Structure 1
Amino acid sequence: MAGILTNLRSTVIAGFVLALALMIFYVYGQYSASSHIGEALGTTAFWAFIVRWAHVLCGIMWIGLLYYFNFVQIPNMPNIPDEQKPAIGKVIAPAALWWFRWGAMGTIAFGIILAALNGYLVDAYLLGFTDGGASTIIGIGMWLGTIMWFNVWFVIWPNQKIALGIVEAPAEDKPKSARTAMLFSRTNTLLSIPMLFAMVINQNVF
């Protein structure tokens, strides 16, 4: 067991194997004994579930790192001795930003696929104007998520590349870019709260 847990790749693979075992157990409990897996694989609901699972996994990676940046890294940077700060900028931040931006990409991609599979993609992006308001709340959540994704890829990441010295830029541009990235990261933190509310409330009736 220690051999699995001391290697991140092995840990993640083991997690997916356990999830697969749970899926097989669930499918065998839901479908007739004659065609368990084949019957499940033939349903849109099954694939919508798989895509929703991927959507949530990517979302946890994305929002988790967003909150790490805003609740941990940024507030504590002033407390880090100057001689230690390059380790954050050259090692920790670039790695975290890689997972951050691709988590955002995975979340938006799987979210769009999920909405298409469930038949509400256009209605949601039109905020329910075409279905009597049934897709309004999920549409608001999708628009907020789309804005956040745009901020990650077209504002935060380009400015972080300048601030961290990943791309060549005049030295005087770095503080401005760092501030822009921080402000848009804070914007995403703000938007994440109503976005998650819209996503969760859409799954519940009360």
Structure 2
Amino acid sequence: MQDLALFWDWLSFAVRWLHVVTAIAWIGSSFYFIALDLGLRQRPGLPAGAHGEEWQVHGGGFYHIQKYLVAPAEMPEHLTWFKWESYATWLSGFAMLCVVYYAGADLFLIDRNVLDVSPTVAILISLASLALAWLFYDQLCKSPLGNNDTALMLVLYVFLVAMAWGYTQLFTGRAAFLHLGAITATVMSANVALVIIPNQKIVVADLIAGRKPDPKYGKIAKTRSLHNNYLTLPVIFLMLSNHYPLAFATEFNWVIASIIFIIGVLIRHYFNTVHARKGNPHWTWGATVVLFIIIMWLSTVPAVLTGEKKVSSAAETFIASAHFPAVKDTVISRCSMCHTAEPAWDGLYRAPKGVILDNDADIAEHAREIYLQAGRSHAMPPGNVTEVTPEERALLTAWFEGAGK
């Protein structure tokens, strides 16, 4: 069991690393092309079909870029496609969802005080929500409402708020935030795979066949690309939120998530306006600060008590271990000054990452994390400030490995 825990932790690290790398590639190209598109200028003498051009300087040279709507007169000899960044980001993100939340459903996905279901049912709910969210969004875009950008975005926002609330009624707070990010990322990647790229392929096929491409395909692709642009910043916040319990482990976590979407839109509106040379809307930053202060306040509102915590069968095994009394004494003396409802450590107002280690049930439920963070490694406590001894670390290791057997 101990070897599996170590392997799984490294696998999670590797998949997370891959996800971060691919996400940087996708977000970078997305931001660049939106900025480029908004910065295009028209001038007399542009080639037929050219919508605009821009001069850029970077890396010691100048770039002269022209955009064609809907397409040039004939197929270029060389054409670079931007799609694998999106596909790789979603695939690596889904792999991380499987490794962390599906494989660790009892710990990270299910909160039995919220919804007492089996891991299989929880995973099926998760998968269904990803698919249904995309279908709902796609049908909205294809409906008459899709012709009104403002009305469409308002309806989509209401949908996201409903999903934010709904996820908190199904999963742990951490998993709720992660899934809200996952459905948004699924919509974004599906936009690329199922709408933007297929539409561009239709245009390319028309060029090769000598036909004049229908401009509607380019318009639809551009609209979906703009949606992706505005959704990017909220997704980044939601994916990082699992490190910050003050965001996800609070009573009003779904309200916090809903406000984050507004903040993301405000920030993107600022940059898009600047890139389009339509002004410098500083008010967006003031509004963002006010909304973030509201989020900070919401995170400190006392949580509603949810009742007595249920102990999983795996946790009961760790409690029954002969090592547990000594382990409990070690954890209480070395860890609980921070990992408790009211930390005694100066400057801490909440337990780091929301992990409570001042009672039997919570110590047992976090056996794996204690083993990895304070037994097999010296990650906890930071700088060994509570002076955990080598013998105590050996005890934590023996407890987890022995109970696992």
Looking at structure 2, the residues matched to 156 and 128 of structure 1 have their Cα atoms a distance apart, in angstroms, of 32
Greater helix percent: which structure? 1
Letter in 1 for 2:16: R
TM-score in terms of structure 1 length: 0.65
Looking at structure 2, the residues matched to 86 and 190 of structure 1 have their Cα atoms a distance apart, in angstroms, of 22
Point out the structure with max Rg over C-alpha. 2
Please tell me whether the aligned partners of residues 51 and 113 of structure 1 are also in contact (alpha carbons under 8 angstroms).
Answer: yes
Query: Structure 1 residue 114 and structure 2 residue 96: aligned?
Result: yes
TM-score in terms of structure 2 length: 0.35
3-state SS, counterpart of residue 218 of structure 2: helix
Query: Structure 1 residue 65 and structure 2 residue 29: aligned?
Result: yes
Unaligned runs of 5+ in 1: 1-38
Please tell me whether the aligned partners of residues 51 and 110 of structure 1 are also in contact (alpha carbons under 8 angstroms).
Answer: yes
Please tell me whether the aligned partners of residues 162 and 168 of structure 1 are also in contact (alpha carbons under 8 angstroms).
Answer: no
For residues 1-206 of structure 1, the aligned pairs below 5 Å read 42-73=6-37, 75-76=39-40, 78=42, 81-82=46-47, 85=66, 90=76, 94-95=79-80, 97=81, 100-120=82-102, 122=123, 127-164=167-204, 168=209, 170-173=211-214, 175-206=215-246
Unaligned runs of 5+ in 2: 49-64, 103-108, 110-122, 130-166, 247-405
What's the offset of the Cα at 1:57?
Answer: 0.8
What's the offset of the Cα at 1:140?
Answer: 0.4
3-state SS, counterpart of residue 135 of structure 1: helix
Give the paired residue count: 163
Letter in 1 for 2:30: L
Looking at structure 2, the residues matched to 202 and 167 of structure 1 have their Cα atoms a distance apart, in angstroms, of 48
What's the offset of the Cα at 1:202?
Answer: 2.5
Please tell me whether the aligned partners of residues 19 and 93 of structure 2 are also in contact (alpha carbons under 8 angstroms).
Answer: yes
Please tell me whether the aligned partners of residues 138 and 199 of structure 1 are also in contact (alpha carbons under 8 angstroms).
Answer: yes
Identity %: 26
Looking at structure 2, the residues matched to 167 and 139 of structure 1 have their Cα atoms a distance apart, in angstroms, of 42
What's the offset of the Cα at 1:55?
Answer: 0.6
What's the offset of the Cα at 1:155?
Answer: 0.7
Please tell me whether the aligned partners of residues 203 and 213 of structure 2 are also in contact (alpha carbons under 8 angstroms).
Answer: no
Looking at structure 1, the residues matched to 203 and 42 of structure 2 have their Cα atoms a distance apart, in angstroms, of 16
